[in-house]
Structure 1
C-alpha cells in the first residue's frame, strides 16, 4: 500500500498553522514516526484511543495560545472521548515519543508531556468548517 493511500488529512488554523490528523493506526504511525520532526508539536487525548495530531512549525517559531488550543480541540474531537465537554490533551515534542515494543502501528510511549484541555465541540466546528472545502475530514 502506498503512503499516498493513507496520508492523513490536514487542517489550517486561522493563523495558517497546519495540523495533520491521523485518523487510524497507520496514519497515526505515519504522523508520529515519519512526518514529525523534533521541533514540531504532537497532540493526543490523554488516556483514550484517538488521533495523533501533529502541528507543523518551523524551528524556533513561537506558537500562539490560540493555535495550541486549535490542535488540542482537534485531538479531543478525534478521540473516543468526543462525547465529553472537555478532554485532557497531552502535547510534547515528537522526540519524546517511542514505539511500544511489540505494539501495533501508532502505539507510543510518551514522556515530557504537558496537558491542555480540549473541547470536542470546538473541534467539530473546525472540522465542519474545513470539510466544506475539501470533504476529507469526516
Structure 2
C-alpha cells in the first residue's frame, strides 16, 4: 500500500514500513531506500536480495540480519543503508523495488521517489560511491 508516509507491505513475518526512495545529490545517479524492516516472528530471518528499478543495490554489510522481534531502519537516523548507484527516475515517480528474505520470501513494491529536502534532507548514499569488491 502506498501513502504519503511511504510504501507499507507485509510478507510472512516481515513488515516493511515507510519505504521511500530518496534521490541522491543532483546528477549523481544515486538513491537511498529509507525504510524500516520489522521481524514480527519468533525466528530470525535475513534480507538476501534487493533490486531497485530492476538493478542490484548495495546494502550495508551485516545490516540485513533480522533477529526475532527486532526492527532495522535503513537510511534515516541509521548506520545501515540500501543504496542504488545506477538510478534514473524523476522525482515523484513510482519505481519497482523487489525485496527478498531468506524465509519470508519475495515482495514487489512500488516506491515513491522524493528529493533530499525537508524531512528527507541529509539522507544520501553512504558510502557516496559504490565500494569496490574485495
Q: TM-score, normalised by structure 2?
A: 0.36
Q: Flag the structure with higher helix content.
A: 1
Which structure is higher in RCO with an 8 Å CA cutoff and minimum separation 6? 2
Q: Flag the structure with higher strand content.
A: 2
